[in-house]
Amino acid sequence: RLALVEQRELESDTHSFASALKYAMRQDPDVILVGEMRDLETIQSAITAAETGHLVLATLHTNDASQTVDRMIDVFPPHQQQQIRIQLAAVLEAVIAQQLLPTSTGKGRVAAIEILIGTPAINALIREGKTQQIIPMMEAGQKYGMQTLNRCLLELYRKRIVTYDTAMRRSQNREDLARMIEQMQAAAGQQQKARA
């Protein structure tokens, strides 16, 4: 069985992402990829497509997963935001945020990745407008495959792939990352004492 990909290019094939999404829905796609969700109409169309059972993949320029959720909601007028929270919570499967960081060797870059999974608890936070609680829930949700940016930065620093300064500069919560690094170093010191 062969896969078939159809692309619509903005301006040459369609006037907007939203109109391309509406047209794509008529062709019974398995997956819809939206290059970038920039405006209300595109975000609304992507959510509607997901509500009809289609897998919708999209990009959005944000620094972390909770900011992605907030941006998708905040683009709507205040009187529509609660409805969008409900719709988004019903269809969100995952948010993957990434930042490219210079390596400690200066040769190349490495991705620092944050993963948010749309668990019932996460979806409830979105529905209730409590997105500020997403990061702590992600820390607690490692067993579901979630990872905060700070957890990834900690691992990259521990493996000496990035420098301390780079990790701190890219962190959205520097105090939390500094605490995590101190705890890691204290645990490593305890292990060295135990071996001696």
Phi then psi for residue 149, to 5 deg, are -60, -40
Determine what percent of the chain is predicted with pLDDT higher than 90: 69
Please report whether residue 117 resides in a domain. Answer: yes
- The whole model's pTM is what? 0.86
- Give the model confidence (pLDDT) of 21-56 as tens digits: 777 777 778 888 887 888 898 899 899 999 998 899
What per-residue confidence (pLDDT) applies to 138? Answer: 96
Please report whether residue 110 resides in a domain. Answer: yes
The pLDDT of residue 85 is above 70: yes
**Nearest C-alpha neighbor of 183 from the set 160, 161, 158:** 158
Please report whether residue 179 resides in a domain. Answer: yes
CATH classification of the domain holding 123: 3.40.50.300
What per-residue confidence (pLDDT) applies to 91? Answer: 97
Please report whether residue 192 resides in a domain. Answer: no
Please report whether residue 89 resides in a domain. Answer: yes
DSSP-derived pairing of the beta strands 109-117 and 31-34: unpaired
Please report whether residue 33 resides in a domain. Answer: no
Q: How many helices (H) and strands (E) does the chain have?
A: 9, 4
- Give the model confidence (pLDDT) of 163-178 as tens digits: 999 999 999 999 999 9
Of 3-12, 88-97, 154-163, the poorest mean pLDDT is in: 3-12
Over range 76-100, report the average pLDDT: 97
Tokens of 46: 């992507």
Distance between CA atoms of residues 73 and 80, nearest Å: 9
Give the domain extent around 159: 60-185
Tokens of 100: 């490219």
What per-residue confidence (pLDDT) applies to 174? Answer: 96
- Give the model confidence (pLDDT) of 108-144 as tens digits: 999 999 999 999 999 999 999 999 999 999 999 999 9
Task: Please state the domain count of the chain.
Answer: 1
Please report whether residue 148 resides in a domain. Answer: yes
What per-residue confidence (pLDDT) applies to 90? Answer: 97
